[in-house]
Chain A
């Protein structure tokens, strides 16, 4: 029971972590809290679903095309809406992403209707692996594996590629990065593209674990925020750990204490965390000068 709860919590937590990482990548670069992240992932997942279901595209191709779509969506939002804002305030930026969230949600509801569908993921969510007496459903196992691989790729990308280093430079100091010859505007668009892809992976995994319908990302998005806060919104490893912790804590709470109040745990964690240690688990604390 305990092991099972931990593993399934870890799988859910992996999805939260992916969503949170997508948000943190953007937050670090442009200080925008992207409330549209969940809906961007949801629309991408619906695109994948349409290709799989209506056009019978094989899964790898569908996934690749979905990633292309996600790149397009992210860059589109950055260039068409966010970039147009002239010295925006924090509230203004939040409102823009909220507006985009509503546009996407309305679009998905209009195009695909309110029905719940099951996402035809190639890995079954009924069959299980038996690892050392612990029954792990295949989908949970693969979710955790895919997340770990993706995180590793992101780590390599940010650490060793030229583009990744340019992105980190932009995150640290936009002006200095520009002086060094980095095209920061391109980097911004590119950040949105990467974040959108990570989000799309999270969306497909969440749809595979549960069901696919327009409001499906509401809850995971909030949990993603919670994971981000646990990690301090600035540190990618912290966010990953935060997501995993949140998934496990939530699942244990649901298993042992009360299933009904399971989703409240995340918010209590957020508020406590923000009160006690606002800079997060692993992030360094920067004091802002006036």
Chain B
């Protein structure tokens, strides 16, 4: 029943009518999501949080192409994110480019830097690559911080954008971001299924074997970095407008770690997993930042903090929870949320047995 008779069947986006119907239903759901949120306030969500989740999902997909599919670790993605954000804002502020031109340019600037980072990555493996990418990310943010052109330490105010003469609000951004995100997700799914994606996966499984099979390592490794940086750059550009204000201090090491955590928690080598991971981590992050407002747990934590800890640092509980989730996922569910999903699916398929 699942036999594929030719190559084109494998790269088809919708394998069956059921999937097609569900995809359309999901798109409709995304379309009316802002209305649902405004009406019912599900889980205390706001459009701002959904926007943030979507942006993080784009980053997570980009990073997953690099880490999950190509097997190259990167701890410098906050650098690409910053590049995207600053390029977009500067293009619009200084030379008043429209958003739909500035955003792709930001993506390409970021992917050019991704290409540059990809060059040393050709010779490096595992831990060494982690150090090199980490250094790269830190260098970019340090340089941005110390150059007046980028607004220096103070950062930049994102310009106000107008849609048909009216200033854009969160809900308008929602549709812009969502359309971009859906397009980029489809792009990623397609990319993985084509020749390029297969080359990436071959490199992940064994780069020497891949080279022996005729995969050009130089080309595909740098391409993986460039594509990943492109996704992250675009997401960075959108992020600048969601926040309304960017300063280099916010693109620090913890941000890179968070991106990596999203990918690992969602599931390495799974696009849907990246989206789930981004959603879970962003949601947790925002909820746990104001942990004292959560019913039941919050007040207990406050009294505990007053007694044994410091009350000024109570938001750090979020960091602890974050770290624990990262460790536990690696220990008990190495495939992340995606692995959990596969297991549940299999369980129900063969249910009585």
What residues of chain A have their CB less than 8 Å away from a CB belonging to chain B?
27, 31, 33, 81, 84-85, 88-92, 94-96, 98-115, 218, 222, 225-226, 228-229, 233, 260-261, 263-264, 266-268, 270-271, 274-275, 278, 290
A113-B313 in contact (CB<8A): yes
Q: Contacts A90-B73, A222-B134, A233-B127: A106 and B312 contacting too (C-beta < 8 A)?
A: no
Q: How far is the CB of B95 from chain A (nearest CB, A)?
A: 26
Bound Cα distance A268, B139 (Å): 8
CB-CB under 8 A from A115, the residues of chain B are 312
18 other contacts beyond A102-B323, A218-B253, A260-B146, with CB at 8 A cut-off? A81-B331, A90-B126, A94-B130, A96-B330, A98-B257, A98-B260, A99-B326, A106-B317, A106-B318, A109-B316, A110-B305, A110-B313, A111-B308, A225-B135, A264-B142, A267-B139, A270-B132, A275-B123
Q: Contacts A105-B319, A107-B316: A264 and B143 contacting too (C-beta < 8 A)?
A: yes
Q: Which B residue sits closest to A266, measured CB to CB?
A: B135
B134-A275 in contact (CB<8A): no
Chain B 283-332 interface residues, beta-carbon cutoff 8 Å to A = 305, 308-310, 312-314, 316-327, 329-331
Q: Which A residue sits closest to B252, measured CB to CB?
A: A218
Bound Cα distance A101, B322 (Å): 10
Chain B 118-150 interface residues, beta-carbon cutoff 8 Å to A = 119-120, 123-128, 130-132, 134-136, 138-139, 142-143, 146
B132-A85 in contact (CB<8A): no
Q: How far is the CB of A37 from chain B (nearest CB, A)?
A: 13
Query: Is B67 positioned at the interface, with any CB of A under 8 Å from its CB?
Result: yes
Q: Contacts A105-B319, A261-B143, A275-B120: A92 and B330 contacting too (C-beta < 8 A)?
A: yes
CB-CB under 8 A from A290, the residues of chain B are 208
Give the residue of B124, B320, B326, B334 whose beta carbon is less than 8 angstroms from that of A110: B320
B127-A271 in contact (CB<8A): no
CB-CB under 8 A from B257, the residues of chain A are 98, 102
Q: Which B residue sits closest to A268, measured CB to CB?
A: B139
Give the residue of A88, A106, A225 whose beta carbon is less than 8 angstroms from that of B330: A88
Q: Which B residue sits closest to A36, measured CB to CB?
A: B323
Query: Is B276 positioned at the interface, with any CB of A under 8 Å from its CB?
Result: no
Bound Cα distance A110, B315 (Å): 7
A261-B142 in contact (CB<8A): yes
Q: Which A residue sits closest to B133, measured CB to CB?
A: A271
Q: Which B residue sits closest to A107, measured CB to CB?
A: B320
CB-CB under 8 A from B181, the residues of chain A are none
